[in-house]
Amino acid sequence: MSRLGRSIALTLAVSAGSVGPADAAWTQLSGPHPPAAAAFGTHGSLAFLGTNDADAGDVFRSTDDGHTWSNVGIPNGGVTEFLSVGNALLFGSYLAGVYRSTDDGDTWARADAGFAPFATPAALAAVDGQTALAGTDDFSLGALYRSTDTGATWAPIDGAPAIRCRDLLVLGTTVLAGGEAIGVLRSTDAGVTWAESNAGLPATRHVDRFVQHGASIFAAMRTPFAVAVSHSEDGGVTWSAAITSGLPSASQVTAFFESAGALWLGTLTTAGESGLYRSTDDGATWQRRTGSLPVPDRVLGAGTLGGDIVVGTVDGAFRSAD
C-alpha cells in the first residue's frame, strides 16, 4: 500500500548496478520543505505526495513525474497513505478517517462513514475496482474495515481480530495484514474473514511492511533487538527464520519494495542507523544506501517517479537517478 506509494503500487524501478551503499546522489523535490513527506501515490498519470504533520498535513500534486508540485490542500490532519481504487483517490488521515476525491485531487471530501471516531487509517489496499480495505493504527488495538463502493462508505469487518495495523498486502483473494505485536493476520476470502498466521515468526514481533518478491512474500518487522526480515513460500501460511544481517536495531520499517531483482527497505528511528537499505541476495544480507540524504536520514516512505527513486524524510522529499 503506499508509503511513497508502497501499497498503491508505486513499484520501484532502480538500477541494479554496482553503486556502493552510500554513493547515491539526492536532490530535494520542489514540494514540501521542510515538512515531513510520508505518503506518495499515483492516480492515472498524476503523482501525489502527502505530509504527515499530525495536525496540519498537506497534499501536493504533480503532473510531470514529480519535477514540480502544487499544493492542493486538505482540511486537517497528516496524510498516512494513498490508494487509487476505481475512479477514486483516497488517503488516510491522522485521527480523521479517510478523505476521497473523484476529480483527480481538485476537491476532497471526508469519507469516514463507518469508521470509529478519530480513526487513523494507516494502511489501505484495493481488492478490486470497487472494494477497498483499511487497517487503523489508533495507538491501541483497532478494527479492519471494508468498503464496496470505492471508499465512499466503510464498515468494520465482523469477527476480525483487533490489530494496530501497519500494512496490507493483496494477492488475489489472499490478503495479509501486519501489525503491532499481533504479527500477521491472513484472509483467503478477500478480507471477509481473518486468522493469525505467525508460524515461524519470532515470539515478539511487530510486522510493519510486506512485499511480494518473485514467488515469495517477505515481511519486515521489528523485534526486541533489531529490524528483521522473514519470507513465506506458501502465501503467508508459514514463515522462515528471521534475518537481521546488516539491518539496524530498534527501528520502525517505513518502506519495503522490490525493484530490478533487489529488495529495498526504509527505516525510521530516533537512534541508530535509520535510512534506506538494499539487498541483492533475496534478503539474506543488507547494505545501507543513503548517499547525500540529510542527517538524520529517517525514511518515512519510498517509491519512484519517472524512473527515479523518491524518498520521503523528516526533512522533505528527495529523488535520485542512481
Q: What is the CATH number of the domain that holds 80?
A: 2.130.10.10
Which contacts qualify for 243-250: CB closer than 8 Å, 24 or more apart?
243/283, 243/284, 245/284, 245/285, 245/286, 246/277, 246/279, 246/285, 246/286, 246/287, 246/288, 247/277, 247/286, 248/272, 248/273, 248/274, 248/275, 248/277, 249/225, 250/222, 250/225, 250/226
Residue 18 lies in a domain: no
Domain hosting 138: range is 27-320
Find the mean pLDDT for residues 259-264.
84
Radius of gyration of the chain (CA): 18
The pTM for the full model equals 0.89
Q: Is residue 17 part of a domain?
A: no
pLDDT score at 160: 94
* 20 lies in some domain: no
In a domain, 216, yes or no: yes
Give the H/E segment covering residue 183.
Answer: strand 183-187
Residue of 298, 278, 250 whose CA lies nearest to 52: 298
- β-bridge pairing 308-313 and 299-305: antiparallel
Q: What is the pLDDT of residue 37?
A: 82
Average pLDDT across the chain, whole number: 85
- How many domains does the chain divide into? 1
In a domain, 293, yes or no: yes
Rounded percentage of the chain residues whose pLDDT exceeds 90: 55
Q: How confident is the model over 29-58, as pLDDT tens digits?
A: 876 665 678 888 999 999 999 887 655 568
- The residues that bridge with 135 in the sheet, in sequence order, are 123, 144
Q: Is the peptide bond before 248 cis (omega within 30 degrees of 0)?
A: no
- Is residue 125 a part of any domain in this protein? yes
Q: Which amino acid is at 254?
A: T
Give dist(CA 7, CA 276) in Å, integer.
18
Asked whether residue 6 is assigned to any structural domain, the reply reads no
The strand pair at 174-179 and 165-171 is best described as antiparallel
Q: Coil, strand or helix: which one is 42?
A: strand
For residues 15 and 260, is the Cβ–Cβ distance under 8 A?
A: yes
Residue 8 lies in a domain: no
Q: Does the pLDDT at position 75 exceed 70?
A: no
Q: What pLDDT sits at residue 148?
A: 97
Please report, for residues 47, 180, 281, the alpha-carbon distance to residue 191 in angstroms, rounded to integers and kept in the order given. Answer: 28, 19, 32
